Amino acid sequence: GLMGSSLSLIIRIQLSHPGGSFLKNESLYNVVVTTHALVMIFFAVMPLLIGAFGNWLLPLCIGGCDLIFPRLNNLSFWLAPNALYLLILSFMTEKGAGTGWTIYPPLSSGLYHTGPAVDILITSLHLIGLSSLLGSINFVSTNKNMPTVKMKGEKSELYLWSITVTGVLLIISVPVLAGGITMLLFDRN
């Protein structure tokens, strides 16, 4: 969160004056915007709102002591710092990955980014996507299999429904994201 906020501050300083001269290079501005967006979406908002609160509140709401697959939860947790390390590495590799948070071509193609920064970024997104997928599988299966009889189905709390629906949406959307960035990786290489 601190890294994403500091990158946001750099963006605000650059945009504070017309023709801002804080960042001397336009491509560096694109790298800062890309890294800020990906850090805030995949490494701050999703892990905090879904992962942290889900791990803490889901067992409390269903009357359990932990999630149903603690080792899967542990793997999901430890994939996230490694993915963040790769994202930071892509920021510092050569000129960085200045593709925008959507990573759309042509900016992400080999024509504009010939170095390995975008490849490292895509690997980072694969790892954080796998982390989200594993956590979502754990949340959905825990909410389905562990609650007491009084808390099953429509009797459960609204927060449990929100975690379950978000988990199902992540299970559906993360493989699509992985397929898209894998095709982009194949196109680049």
* Residue 180 · residue 108 · CB < 8 Å: no
Distance CA 145, CA 137 (A): 12
Segments forming the whole domain that contains residue 151: 1-188
Mean pLDDT (whole number) for 99-118: 82
Query: What pLDDT digit, counting tens, does each position of 75-101 carry?
Result: 999 999 999 999 999 888 888 888 887
Please give the tally of structural domains in the chain: 1
Query: Which pTM value belongs to this model?
Result: 0.86
Query: What pLDDT digit, counting tens, does each position of 26-79 carry?
Result: 788 888 888 899 999 889 888 888 888 888 888 888 877 888 888 998 999 999
